[in-house]
């Protein structure tokens, strides 16, 4: 399951805002672009994708790393890929030139 702002976002004065709100602040999340969760339960994956999107790379992936049978990755606002601990052992990330 994937949550992201690639389809639903808005721009104000050149700043990009996601449609996903951080319940702690009431403001749109601006530190992530996309979160994908891989697990056997679609309902759990959907909830976790949104939660990790709000939490961000550090706290969000720390949560995923504590859950058995759940993996995920996040693309931050700068376009950098962050993966859960087990995914980093399965994939090698390479720089790609445009």
Q: Please state the domain count of the chain.
A: 1
Q: Is there a domain that residue 20 lies in?
A: yes
Furthest-apart CA pair in the chain: how many Å? 42
**Separation of alpha carbons 88 and 10, rounded Å:** 32
Order of strands across the sheet that contains 2-4? 2-4, 32-38, 71-76, 81-83
Question: Domain limits at 29?
Answer: 2-90
Q: Is 36 helix (H, G, I), strand (E, B) or coil?
A: strand
* Other residues' Cβ atoms within 10 Å of the Cβ of residue 27: 10
Phi and psi at residue 91, to the nearest 5°: -125, 150
Q: Is there a domain that residue 98 lies in?
A: no
* Residues 4-47 pLDDT 10s: 777 788 888 988 888 889 999 998 888 889 999 999 999 999 99
* Residues 37-85 pLDDT 10s: 999 999 999 999 999 999 999 999 999 999 999 999 999 989 999 999 9
**Separation of alpha carbons 63 and 69, rounded Å:** 12
CATH code, domain with 63 = 3.10.520.10
């Amino acid at each position: 399951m994937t949550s992201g702002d690639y389809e639903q976002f808005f721009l104000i004065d050149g700043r990009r805002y996601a449609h996903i709100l951080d319940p702690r602040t009431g403001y749109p999340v601006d530190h992530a672009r996309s979160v994908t969760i891989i697990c056997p339960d679609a309902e759990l994956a959907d909830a976790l994708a949104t939660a990790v999107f709000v939490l961000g790379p550090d706290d969000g992936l720390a949560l995923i790393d504590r859950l058995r049978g759940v993996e995920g990755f996040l693309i931050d606002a700068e376009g950098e890929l962050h993966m859960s601990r087990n995914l980093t052992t399965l994939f090698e990330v390479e720089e790609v030139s445009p």
